[in-house]
């Protein structure tokens, strides 16, 4: 008898099945896959898999010498397409696959388990029975992360490819393990001041050059670097060090490897059956059928799995543009419009909205980030407001315009000032992340330092200026690993970062610049509190195109917590450069990319400039500063006194103010105060003296 060694058993309730069939079951990993357990005193493993087109389905593995006899799973009676059963004797660590006979008598499939939590190390492709057991010690982080990960907090993200960060040359150039990263990665991130680390996909994938973006095991942590508990330990320790963890998530597409999801049971279980909607011409991959409820349950359950089981703080969703547009990278005739004649994939948009709604509802303190390269509206707006519901979106337009600008020769920059200022026009339309990611330092695009123009010193000064401009621009920040060391070579996933560069003053200067910027960004509230809101940004002067100088101010919600940023995008220094301001003010220099410790020129600057009462550029006060070549200087406001307003002459009258007018005065909102010292204006001081005289508390001598 085929099922002689399989005991009929189920973990599914009728409610589970109903949720699964309508795409609302978000904890499928608790039911599907392989679950070691004891049934009626017998130790073994329960298996469950979705294969609606299977005629018969067997579990084969090292426990039965890969022979199917006696190991056929039972097809559920309810038409759900789920096959299940309990197999005695199957233990933690055993390797298995599903042998599937399609209903149409097509080719027999040998498939890895889509819900397996561990997979063999490539090139092997079997699934592994694994009973995850880990005790977390990051309770304080999990309690506090609602505040830590909120959008009014700093995000300085270090994006990294796990396998090529650092390698063991003495051991055949192998990558570091999850456990080794604890002692190597965490000290580096802490010293550099990054708030979050973003890992390129750590799910199971067979093809090394895909960097993890061609996933074959959505629930399995990559076995290249260790087992699931060891990855959990790394995340646990990162949290204890105060570092958030973001992981790239790939719900857009999957590879056509024969052992994985493609034509899983002889039919299109996971991919869309219409090739115009189910195939990616760019990547030779298959596209999920976002309109199929069982696929939605699979994908959203997968997001829940990483957020719940691995305590991930954020999911950066890859290739969102390819998900939401039917004509993405397709020629005319290769795509079919939606029911309204448009190019939007309505099923995919509904899926993304449902995904974001579900994860934000169930996991307070997490964030989702969209890699979306078009002008599709409201990507990071709430679903109830017609948005896709993401927390943040990569600012791809800023990245392209900025890098193109910094490639330009200095003499031509005066004609392209708009290229570097245009981003502010739309900076607050989304919750943007300014990203200089892995995609910008591969495939012949050159490394970051290689993109810069000028001689060697100018290249490094250019890059320091770029990073200073980036960190003082509204939006969160993301740098790919190595960008903070300025290697001349492009990133190569087969090797490791060029750590030996840090012995050279020029490269060490870039590293120290990024470190200082991270700490400045984290400690200056004005640089992050209004990252996505215009209240925190003011232009002082963006019109000096001849000198390629930009002057802006950043503000927080604290009264007079103001920073002024002076960006010199050219090689010419300026002595006593005039800036027009509207108040009597004193400023303190707090950051300068041109300092000698950064391998700058050390150009002499005025550390505490003060305004004089002299009109300049349409304003009634003038501030003079020295501006180093190719630099970003940041000043903090330390005192400010507004000009005393001129009182209009009015004719005396005996008429009393109306009651309505009196109420409107008394109900006006007063300036809020905080723990920081409030800088009082001269008008405040005058009012205080008047009140003292009225109350008889004058201190006349």
Pairing of strands 549-555, 285-287: unpaired
Determine the 3-state secondary structure of 626 from DSSP. strand
Q: Are 311 and 333 in contact (CB under 8 A)?
A: no
Q: Which of 236, 248, 318, 401 is catalytic?
A: 318
DSSP state of 281: T
| Choice among 16, 198, 248, 371 that is catalytic | 371
Name the one residue in this structure whose structure tokens are 């996909």.
Answer: 201
- Please tell me whether the peptide bond between 490 and the residue prior to it is cis, using omega within 30 degrees of 0: no
240: helix, strand or coil: helix
What are the backbone angles phi and psi of residue 640, rounded to the nearest 5°? -150, 130
Instruction: Please report the beta strands in 449-548, taking only residues with DSSP state E, as ranges in sequence order.
Output: 476-480, 537-544
Query: What is d(CA 91, CA 94) in angstroms, rounded to the nearest whole number?
Result: 6
Task: Compute the distance between CA of residue 582 and CA of residue 596 in angstroms, rounded to an integer.
Answer: 33
Say if residues 354 and 296 touch (Cβ distance below 8 Å).
Answer: yes
Instruction: Spell out where 596-671 has E strands.
Output: 611-612, 621-627, 631-642
| CA gap 162, 202 in Å, rounded | 8
Check if the beta carbon of residue 254 is closer than 8 Å to that of residue 216: yes
Work out the angle at residue 294's Cα, subtended by the Cα atoms of residues 291 and 296, and round it to the nearest 5 degrees. Answer: 55
Give the bridge partners for 566, in sequence order.
Answer: 551, 633
Q: Is 561 a catalytic residue?
A: no
Q: Phi then psi for 585, rounded to 5 degrees?
A: -140, 155
Question: Would you state the structure tokens that stand for residue 478, as one six-digit string?
Answer: 């993301």
3-state secondary structure 307-338: HHHCCCCEEEECCHHHHHECCCCCCCCCCCCC
Q: Quick count: other Cβ atoms within 10 Å of Cβ 694?
A: 9
Q: Are 387 and 379 in contact (CB under 8 A)?
A: yes
In whole angstroms, what separates CA 259 from the centre of its chain?
Answer: 31
In this structure, the number of other CB atoms found within 10 A of the CB of residue 121 comes to 13
Instruction: Give yes or no for a contact between 238 and 231, defined as CB atoms under 8 angstroms apart.
Output: no
Alpha-carbon span 301 to 291, nearest angstrom: 16
CA 59, CA 90: separation in Å to the nearest integer?
11
Question: Helix axis angle, 228-240 relative to 178-192, nearest 10°?
Answer: 20
* Nearest C-alpha neighbor of 437 from the set 194, 198, 212: 198
Catalytic (active site) residue 318: yes
Tell me which residue of 150, 84, 141 sits closest to 431, measured CA to CA: 150
Q: Which long-range contacts (CB under 8 A, 24 or more apart) does 352-356 make?
A: 352/317, 352/320, 352/323, 352/324, 352/388, 352/389, 352/390, 353/383, 353/387, 353/388, 353/389, 354/23, 354/296, 354/300, 355/251, 355/299, 355/300, 355/303, 355/389, 356/383, 356/388, 356/389, 356/390
Active-site residue list: 318, 371
């Amino acid at each position: 008898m085929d099922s002689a060694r399989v005991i009929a058993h189920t973990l599914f309730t009728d409610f589970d099945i109903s949720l699964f069939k309508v795409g609302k079951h978000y904890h499928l990993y608790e039911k599907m896959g392989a679950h070691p357990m004891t049934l009626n005193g017998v130790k073994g493993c329960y298996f469950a898999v979705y294969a609606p087109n299977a005629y018969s389905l067997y579990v084969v593995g090292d426990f039965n010498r890969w022979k199917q006899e006696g190991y056929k799973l039972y097809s559920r009676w309810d038409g759900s397409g789920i096959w299940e059963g309990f197999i005695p004797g199957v233990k933690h660590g055993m390797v298995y696959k599903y042998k599937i006979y399609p209903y149409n008598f097509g080719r027999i499939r040998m498939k890895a388990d889509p819900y397996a939590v561990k997979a063999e190390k490539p090139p092997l492709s079997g699934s592994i029975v694994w009973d995850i057991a880990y005790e977390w010690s990051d309770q304080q982080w999990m309690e506090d992360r609602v505040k830590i990960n909120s959008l009014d907090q700093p995000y300085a993200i270090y994006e990294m490819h796990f396998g090529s960060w650092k390698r063991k040359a003495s051991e055949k150039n192998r990558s570091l393990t999850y456990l080794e990263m604890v002692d190597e990665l965490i000290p580096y991130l802490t010293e550099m001041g990054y708030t979050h680390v973003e890992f390129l996909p750590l799910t199971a994938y067979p093809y090394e050059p895909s960097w993890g973006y061609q996933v074959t095991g959505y629930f399995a942590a990559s076995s290249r670097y260790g087992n699931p508990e060891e990855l959990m330990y790394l995340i646990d320790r990162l949290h204890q060090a105060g570092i958030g963890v973001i992981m790239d998530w790939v719900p857009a597409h999957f590879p056509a490897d024969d052992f994985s999801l493609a034509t899983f049971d002889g039919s299109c279980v996971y991919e869309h059956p219409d090739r115009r909607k189910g195939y990616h011409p760019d990547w030779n991959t298959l596209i999920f059928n976002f309109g199929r409820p069982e696929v939605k349950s699979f994908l959203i359950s997968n997001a829940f799995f990483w957020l719940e089981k691995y305590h991930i703080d954020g999911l950066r969703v890859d290739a969102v543009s390819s998900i939401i547009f039917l004509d993405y990278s397709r020629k005319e005739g290769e795509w079919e419009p939606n029911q309204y004649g448009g190019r939007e994939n309505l099923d995919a948009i509904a899926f993304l909205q449902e995904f974001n709604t579900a994860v934000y509802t169930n996991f307070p303190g997490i964030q989702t980030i969209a890699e979306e390269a078009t002008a599709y509206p409201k990507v990071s707006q709430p679903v109830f407001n017609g948005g896709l519901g993401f927390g943040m979106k990569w600012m791809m337009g800023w990245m392209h315009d900025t890098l193109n600008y910094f490639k330009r020769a200095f003499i031509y920059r005066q004609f392209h000032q708009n290229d570097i200022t245009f981003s502010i026009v739309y900076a607050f339309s989304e919750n943007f992340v300014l990203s200089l990611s892995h995609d910008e330092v591969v495939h012949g695009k050159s490394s970051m330092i290689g993109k810069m123009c000028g001689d060697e010193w100018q290249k490094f000064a250019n890059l320091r200026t770029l990073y200073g401009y980036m960190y003082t621009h509204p939006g969160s920040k993301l740098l790919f690993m190595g960008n903070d060391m300025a290697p001349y070579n492009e990133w190569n996933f087969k090797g490791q970062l060029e750590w030996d560069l840090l012995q050279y003053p020029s490269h060490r200067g870039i590293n120290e610049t990024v470190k200082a910027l991270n700490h400045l960004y984290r400690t200056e509230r004005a640089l992050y509190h209004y990252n996505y809101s215009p209240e925190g940004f003011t232009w002082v002067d963006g019109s000096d195109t001849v000198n390629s100088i930009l002057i802006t101010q950043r503000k927080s919600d604290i009264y007079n917590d103001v920073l002024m940023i002076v960006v010199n995008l050219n090689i010419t220094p300026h002595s006593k450069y005039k800036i027009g301001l509207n108040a009597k003010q004193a400023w303190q220099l707090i950051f300068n990319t041109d300092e000698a410790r950064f391998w700058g020129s050390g150009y002499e600057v005025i550390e505490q400039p003060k305004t004089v009462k002299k009109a300049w550029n349409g304003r009634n006060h003038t501030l003079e500063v020295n501006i180093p070549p190719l630099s970003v200087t940041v000043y903090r406001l330390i005192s400010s006194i507004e000009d005393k307003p001129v009182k209009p002459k009015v004719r005396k009258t005996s008429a009393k103010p109306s009651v309505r007018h009196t109420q409107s005065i008394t109900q006006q909102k007063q300036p809020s105060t905080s723990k920081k010292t409030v800088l009082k204006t001269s008008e405040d001081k005058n009012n205080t003296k008047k009140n003292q005289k009225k109350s008889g508390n004058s201190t006349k001598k």
